[in-house]
Amino acid sequence: MKNLPFNAFPTQFRPGDFSSLLAANGIDWQPPSPGQGLTAGPQQTQATTVLAIKFAGGVLMAGDRRATAGNVVVYDRADKVLPLDDFTLLGIAGVPAFAWEMARMLSHSFKYFRRSQLQELSLEGKLRSLSAILRGNLPWLMQGVGIVAPILASWEEASQGRLFTYDPLGAEFEGVSYATSGSGSGVIEAILLHRTRYEGKPLQQLNRDGAIALALQLLEAAADSDSATGGIRAAAGIYPSVHWIDGLGVQTAPESLLKKLQPTI
C-alpha cells in the first residue's frame, strides 16, 4: 500500500487520533467512557475491606466477609485474604470474580516456579507477577468492570515481613507499617494515622494477639461507617478472615481466638 503524504489528510486530522479523523470526515463519534452502556446490566459484586499491619515478629492481614452488589448483600462469608504460598498472602478489594482468578493464577505460577527451578520465586518476582496480571486486566478495567486493588504481604528471612498495595493498573506502593484497601479503607487509615503519628504507638511493637485485636476493632469501625463492609456477627459465627505470616509461614487465626479478642463495645 502506497504511503500517503502527510498533507493528504484533512488539516483537522491529528496523526494517531482516530476521533479527529472521523470528525474531519463529518462523522460525529466519541469513545465511550468507562462503564458506559453497562448501567442497564446486573450490578457487579464487590468485595471490601482489607488491611495489613506489621507487628513484632510478623505481618497480619485481615478482611471483612461481606460481598455486595449495589445496596444488596450478596454473600456474608466471602474470603478476601488468600494464601498464595507458604509465605505470601493476598488481600482482595474490588470484583471478587477477577480477584479470585488472579489469586489462582499467582498461586499456580509460584508453585510451578518452585517445582521447575527447585527454589522459591523471589519477592521481587512475586511483585512483578501481580503487576503484570493487573495490567493484563486493563481491557476490563477500561470498560468499568473488573476493578481490583489488592494488598500483598510476604515474608523473607532477610527482610522480615513486607507489605504492598496496588492500584488497579498494577503500580505498587510499599507500606511502612500498614496498608489498607477497599471502601472502608478511609476510616481505617485515619485511625491508624492518628494512632501512629499523634499517640506515638508504633504498630511494630504489638504482639500477635494485640495486632489481631486491633484489626478486629478497625474492621468494626469501618463497618459502622461503610455499608459495604461487614462487621462481626458472633451469633451467626461470622468473623473477619485473619491470617498472619512469620518465620513459620502463613498462619490462620482460629474462630476461638477471634471470639476471645473481639471488641467488647
By annotation, the residues acting in catalysis are: 48
The single residue listed with the C-alpha cell 513484632 is 56
H/E element holding 16? none
Sheet holding 67-69, edge to edge: 46-47, 67-69, 72-75
Report yes or no: 242 and 252 within 8 Å, Cβ to Cβ: yes
Report yes or no: 171 and 178 within 8 Å, Cβ to Cβ: no
H/E element holding 118? none
H/E element holding 72? strand 72-75
**Closest alpha carbon to 129 in 106, 148, 111:** 106
Q: Where are the alpha helices (DSSP H) in 118-200?
A: 123-136, 138-142, 185-197
Residues 162 and 167: their CA atoms lie apart, in Å, by 17
